[in-house]
Amino acid sequence: MKYLIILIFVGSLASITYGFTINEENLVLANKCIGFGTVGIFLVAMPLFLIKVSKGKNMKDYMLNEENIKKMQANEKKKPQNQ
């Protein structure tokens, strides 16, 4: 999965770079390359990366609810004041 994400990311960057280099000769193809590269990064590689990283994590730990607010306040009281 890691190598697939890296491959998609590098391919997308290559597509964007290629689109900017041929911008003068073929504007339509250049815009398509830049667009597909952007889609590859933000709609394919980023979600795959987030799924890979968040696997096994509990989403309740990251939500701001009253229980977590009380935990944060308790942790703040435990810290020394001269930090």
pLDDT digit string (tens) for 5-42?
999 999 999 999 999 999 889 999 999 999 999 999 99
**Buried/exposed code over 18-38 (b: 16+ C-beta within 10 A; e: otherwise):** ebeeeeeeeeeebeebbeebe
Instruction: Tell whether the model's pLDDT for residue 82 goes beyond 80.
Output: no
Instruction: Tell whether the model's pLDDT for residue 80 goes beyond 70.
Output: no
pTM: 0.71
Average pLDDT, the chain: 90
Interaxial angle between packed helices 27-39 and 2-21, expressed in degrees from 0 to 180 and rounded to the nearest 10: 160
- What's the pLDDT score for residue 81? 62
Report d(CA 18, CA 78) in Å as an integer.
54
